[in-house]
A and B are shown apart, each in its own frame.
Chain A
Amino acid sequence: MSDASAATLRPTIVLALPKGRILKEIGPLLAAAGIVPETAFKDPEARQLRFTTNVAGFEIIRVRSFDVATFVAFGAAELGIAGSDVLMEFDYDEIYAPLDLRVGRCRLVVAEPERLASGDDPSRWSHVRVATKYPSLTRRHFAARGVQAECIKLNGAMELAPTLGLSRHIVDLVSTGQTLIANGLVEVERIAEVTSRLIVNRAAMKTRAAELEFWIERFGNAVDGQAAR
């Protein structure tokens, strides 16, 4: 066997975590599951991307939320935490999402400018232009009701698109709805409720079932413990 394939036979488990907002909510879950990352992990300024933990052979990587799904789908990480929005967008066959972590709660919505919402009749649409971070999910959502969605992929500040004439609609995550209101937008349709999920690579789940189930159960107990409090 070559060095390259021998390297993939590592005994470690890699957990991919999303940078940013959700990371704060995940902290208590990690602690309850008995995982304490090395101190550099807490430092948002740290350049390091890969961290050891108090558990031997258990590492954490910190990547962008969309990349968590990619790392896990390709087996570069065995475990990950990703929003159900990200999982819907990619719809990777190789990802199992066995546990709802009940954090990162928000919703995925279609929004449009308030002034348009009153005079608009969605049943007459054959084509819509939508600014979104989720082009594939958006196309599927509209196609399911016979409407062709032309998606403009943006990586942030979706709310600007309607006000500046880039598109009439946006598909975006909303938690409190304050950003929509501040930009004169209203929610016209709810696509899905979103929470973060513990995700597992399919091949790893089949070949290292006992180890991974141990961690899924640990996280499951941690979630139940948080809910009980």
Chain B
Amino acid sequence: MTELASRSLLPAGLQDVLPPDAAHEAEVGVRLLGVFAGHGYERVKPPLVEFEEGLLSGTGAALANQTFRLMDPISQRMMAVRSDVTPQVARIAQSRLARAPRPLRLSYAEDILRVRGSELRPERQFGQVGYELIGAEGPAADAEVILLALEGLAALEIGPLSVDLNAPTLVTSLIASLGLDAETQRQLRRALDHKDAAEVERRAAKKAALFVALLAATGPAERAFDRLAKIELPAIARREAEALHALARLLDAAMPGLLLTIDPVEHRGFEYQTGISFSVFGVGVKAELGRGGRYRIDGAGREAETATGCTLYMDTLIGALGDVAPPRRVFVPHGSPAEAGRGLRAQGFVTLAGLAPVDDVVAEARRLGCGYVFKSGAATPVAS
């Protein structure tokens, strides 16, 4: 390997984002935060690294093995690099903003770092833009969070969108009622996550019919609810199913025609959710655009709180948006008056000032990737 090559090689899953993509990503973040701010979600900015115990408790525990640790030479305590922003926002809500009125609405846009990428998202560092609605529960809170995600994505002109509603606690309570050993529970969970009906039948033994019926109650909302209504569920699971239906009705009323699917058995990635959860997909986009749901913020001495949040994945959003239209760039030759540049920028041009006189201003404009050159008082297109 040459010295240059070895200096430019980055660790797996990390990359330099170059022009114009870096600016585009920042702009997308600002637009999303603007939509969230319009609904009263105020931005917080937690640190990149914090003490391990804080970051990896509560909802953060799910990502413990995806988190980088380092030793703080000053406090001699173990620190962790955030692998998710939600636990940090939860910590802020419980500590410094404990006395702020509820419901508390907070937003963030930060990069996170993970030990390993997944098959669909090999990136180990990527941006998360999201928000949390803290100290509220019920269908109205769930609906606000989901609709806000859709509004944000619509503002980016990503679409058509589709929302998958999940009830991870429904299956948790059903599985617990079976009295299975931990390993069989894990295998049943896995089979349900993969919608593997044959494997579910094998693992759920005497309750197989119930779980297979639940598997059949996934898909487009209306039909799924019809099927769900016909399944005989224990009281606690029935309540979950009804809450799911109430939420679906709210969403449908707010956004008629929204593509809504129901999946009462999906659980993967929702291990720490305590209520309804959801994923947002874009038709034709191969990974989910975002996901969220309800969780509990452990009070650590104070009263526990319920929160609902959503995280949008910046890398998937950017991929779904495709190429950016390049800005109109104009070369302003050396010696042009200062107000010329000001005027052009006011018209929406990006101006590149010549720092020294050149013989051929048109050639220079082309070399610098400018579509225009400032000539005789106006931006003149450069024939390519």
Contacts and interface: CB of A to CB of B under 8 A. Distances in A.
Contact of A203 (B198, B199, B286): B286
Q: Is the interface of A mostly helix, strand, loop or mixed?
A: mixed
Nearest to B280: A206
- Pick from A5, A8, A98, A207 the residue with the most CB of B within 10 Å: A207
Contacts of A10: 284
Contacts of B319: 5
Given A75-B286, A92-B119, A1 B198 contact: no
Interface in A40-87: 73-75, 84, 87
Interface residues of A, number: 35
A13 to B, nearest CB: 13
B286 A8 contact: yes
Q: Is the interface of B mostly helix, strand, loop or mixed?
A: mixed
B162 A206 contact: yes
Contacts of A180: none
A84 B261 CA distance: 27
Interface stretch (A21-29, A121-129, A161-169, A208-216): A208-216
Interface string A111-126: 0000000000000000
Contacts of A208: 283
A5 B197 CA distance: 33
Nearest to B262: A209
Given A96-B195, A98-B196, A213-B219, A9 B119 contact: no
24 contacts: A1-B322, A3-B322, A5-B285, A5-B321, A9-B284, A10-B284, A73-B119, A74-B119, A84-B199, A92-B119, A93-B193, A97-B194, A97-B199, A98-B197, A98-B215, A99-B198, A195-B198, A203-B281, A203-B287, A203-B288, A206-B164, A209-B219, A210-B219, A213-B219
Interface of B: 118-120, 162, 164, 193-199, 215, 219-220, 259, 261, 263, 268, 279, 281-288, 319-323
Given A1-B322, A9-B283, 7 more contacts: A84-B199, A95-B194, A96-B194, A100-B198, A203-B288, A207-B162, A207-B282
Interface of A: 1-6, 8-10, 73-75, 84, 87, 92-100, 195, 197, 200-201, 203, 205-210, 213
